[in-house]
Structure 1
């Protein structure tokens, strides 16, 4: 399997990687395992006319889940089957109740539990899933060398889709908060601690919106329609990641940081952290 070249970390490394990413992707897509998986999917997915058949074929499921960034969930067969069989037409279906919108996208795309039925026999659907699997598999490969690079690649693609969606005003922040990879980058870009994830969901949304307005000039994720804002978010994410990896007990402000992040005694609760950040943005 091809191993991507990521010679430098941090934002500088990200900029350097961009110069060779297309060429590296061309080499990666010739990897024997990737070719075999995609060929198997194209040749056999039409026969998987039920969710049970898809889940029982590990090679098919590898591509299906990988196309949505869900490859790590492949061993949860009963969970996956339930999501697929209930579909998304019913607002109370399993996929619609999950916080991670990728499951809803996955169930809707395959269509097993929906009124219109499965899409596995549609040639354009097969090609789209196979191509998405290829793209995300490259990101996985990059992530094995540098996890932050994978997060950045995923963010650049997914944030654009959210920013340009018709529901961005109503559900944009919830979509970001529901996807761990997206959330990790956004928290870094906004300078927020990951511990706020345990706070009240509406308080979290309010905090994300306030910080986004302060830093990027808009409360809505629609602000990321601008590619320059996306790049600025990635720059801030990489810088924040380097900062978090570096402070020691002698670093100025380390005492306050330990209170916020829970290192040592007397840590603030998630809701207290949210309230503190909100108060500083008013």
Structure 2
């Protein structure tokens, strides 16, 4: 059994501990046999892949490919993944382009099976993907102890990717709402019930924007181009998540006071 990341506390105390120890813990995790086997196999064999079908049929390669984008839950969904990869990103009407969750666009773009020569034939394709895979697998392992910490670890990366894209204000919100991990963070931080997802998509947009304006003083996603705004959102998420779990370690009164101060 490989190294299991340690998160001894929930909420902000756990986040502070994880930030202090992340580099050492991640290094220990990445030295584990399973990660070593996965990454070595991918590095040795991805260059042999010429089509999306070949990638999808190789379980070990597909495991790393999907894991590099936080899409490991789609591993059994071969037909779906094949459609994403084969459609590519060049055609504005491709499957990946039409999906709200842009992690699928990133997956299709990384492999470029709609190009004359797929990116699997580039000598450097493995390096970036494997770095992403190691990072995300560490987050998965953290999530086995505390899923809120997994979401907190991914927040900065996922939100930065959205605000850095050339997109409309509404488009950024749709991207947030379509990204399952980010959506959970926003719902929790803004005090929204998961049932808001049953509303019409345009109504959801209004709810998220209005609630962000009320809680954060700004209803637009582009505010999170500022690292301080991302950290504030993360703190709100962790504190509200801790309230939902009973406060674990600090009183509900002190958490509520901190929330008022942060708002």
- Normalising by structure 2, we get a TM-score of 0.88
What are the within-5 Å matches in structure 2 for residues 191-210 of structure 1? 191-210=191-210
Unaligned runs of 5+ in 2: 248-263
In 1, Cα distance between the equivalents of 2:179 and 2:170? 16
1:4–1:141 contact (8 Å) kept in structure 2: yes
Alpha-carbon deviation of 1:51? 0.8
Query: What is the root-mean-square deviation in Å for CA atoms of aligned residues?
Result: 1.6
Q: What residue is the counterpart of 1:60 in the other structure?
A: 61
Q: What residue is the counterpart of 1:32 in the other structure?
A: 33
Q: What residue is the counterpart of 1:8 in the other structure?
A: 9
Pairing 1:103–2:95 present:
no
**Which has the higher mean CA deviation after the structures are superposed, 81-90 or 187-196?**
81-90
Instruction: Tell which structure's C-alpha radius of gyration is larger.
Output: 1
Q: Deviations over 1:144-168 (max 9, x none)?
A: 1111100111112111221222225
SS in 1 for 2:119: coil
Pairing 1:125–2:125 present:
yes
In 1, Cα distance between the equivalents of 2:205 and 2:117? 35
In 2, Cα distance between the equivalents of 1:167 and 1:126? 29
1:83–1:95 contact (8 Å) kept in structure 2: yes
What are the within-5 Å matches in structure 2 for residues 104-253 of structure 1? 104-112=105-113, 114-167=114-167, 169-246=169-246
Alpha-carbon deviation of 1:170? 4.5
**Which has the higher mean CA deviation after the structures are superposed, 196-205 or 208-217?**
208-217
2:3–2:28 contact (8 Å) kept in structure 1: yes
In 1, Cα distance between the equivalents of 2:41 and 2:117? 22
Unaligned runs of 5+ in 1: 248-282
Q: Deviations over 1:234-261 (max 9, x none)?
A: 11112221222339xxxxxxxxxxxxxx
2:170–2:205 contact (8 Å) kept in structure 1: no
Q: Deviations over 1:195-254 (max 9, x none)?
A: 10111111111221222223323222111112221111111112221222339xxxxxxx
Alpha-carbon deviation of 1:71? 0.7
Paired residues, what number? 246
In 1, Cα distance between the equivalents of 2:216 and 2:121? 44
